Chain A
């Protein structure tokens, strides 16, 4: 692989790792931060318990938007066929 391409590939792998960590923290913090009380004390959004709404519904929407932005802004297209490049 060309040096430049290796750099791009490595950076994108790190971005993937960063996104997972962010995703996990969001998911965990809302689920167990808001869900850790008596069900009688729950608040509700759109009929769903608040912990569930923020962690699973909003969390998914946030990730979908974030992934779209990251891919469009930071991902660089490279050629996969090295032999073709050599020609």
Chain B
């Protein structure tokens, strides 16, 4: 066990937990519990908003899985990762002011609330809720695996014990919970990540003898590593470009991101968040993935991609500094898991149970059910994560793709196109998810592009055509 790096890691985690508890205390004095709990009272400032978006989105896919894949694929994977710079400005510009005004008018607290008010349809709500539960569930499993791997390589204990430690830590954190707590801790973690990745990148470059030497080593091992085409030349321009849909613009439709786009205080905080978010996301993505590539000549032969980050940090930095830098991804994973867990249990409790099963449930019952469901979800994910696949990024991307295929048009066109209606929305969601699952199973890369692209394109036309065809039905209903 490596105490020198564990101590700073634990200290930083305690500080972060402390902030969470402090923010949780603020909730006790609240007059509108649900809004404060799920949205932090719609009062986030620009810096916190930018950081919570970065941390929620980044999390395990970028901080653990991403550098691991970059380690194997070379600069081509950094190129792919840079498509995420777009999320920094695109999400807030597209959902933007319209989403902020309309969700306030609807008094919506979740993305499903927005869809419910916009489309006035039971089936849209049920289908949305089921999609969120299924897909975010697999995203969460990926996060847990990432967290456990980090603990495993840091402490040198086996995977099962590491997973157990992680699960206990997360469940404690979740009971404190609340959106403001998550957002504030995200802001701290985002700052640590910003500084941490820079320090680590510099340390890696020094350890590798400078950038030209590292590039020369990579090129000597396999020239493909310094091309945009991946280690085997398999990253085609079409395939890499399709990640602009998956991890770039499609992110608009992720519930955990959309909910943040309703949480800010005013126009000024949104403007600041766009600028800060773009810089922070781009900076962290570039540094993180370059670290993965540059790690290769220094530490060759790492087989499990997820272990690249922790191992390289321990290799090139003093142990105490490695501990501090690794606290960032650790904390990010925890807060992502925490907010996903909250989102899934709020979907079950608020969007399904309160809407359709028992609308008149008392506060006491709601609280009990919420905690019960959260704990149950935790146990199920723990069991799933016990026997995990090696590269969590794929699992995570599957979940993202499914949610994007389901929600992108019902949200975006629901905001900007008045003629869109519930028939169009439902048809588009079913077509998007159905095609994505079919395509991913039977034709993983149609025409050399990622399997999420076709469903997103087709579900656009389905939304528009079905909405236009059903104008009369809707008009009749309104008479």
Contact = CB atoms under 8 A, between A and B. Distances in A.
Interface of A: 1, 5-6, 8-10, 12-13, 15-17, 19-20, 23-24, 27-28, 31-32, 35-36, 38-40, 42, 44, 46-49, 51-52, 55-57, 59-60, 63-64, 67-68, 71-72, 75-82
Contacts of B105: 82
A20 B249 contact: yes
25 contacts: A5-B97, A5-B101, A8-B97, A9-B97, A9-B98, A10-B98, A10-B416, A12-B97, A13-B93, A13-B94, A15-B93, A16-B94, A17-B94, A24-B83, A32-B228, A32-B237, A35-B228, A39-B223, A47-B212, A55-B79, A60-B85, A64-B275, A76-B267, A80-B97, A80-B267
Given A1-B101, A9-B96, A78-B267, A68 B275 contact: yes
Main secondary structure of the interface of A (DSSP, over half): helix
A19 B86 CA distance: 8
Contacts of B268: 77
Interface string B264-291: 0011100100110011001100100000
A59 B82 contact: yes
B266 A77 contact: yes
B78 interface: yes
Contact of B89 (A10, A19, A78): A19
Given A35-B227, A55-B82, A1 B98 contact: yes
B267 A77 contact: yes
B278 A81 contact: no
Nearest to A42: B226
Contacts of B275: 64, 67-68, 71
Nearest to B91: A16
A47 B268 CA distance: 40
Nearest to A63: B85
Contacts of B223: 38-40
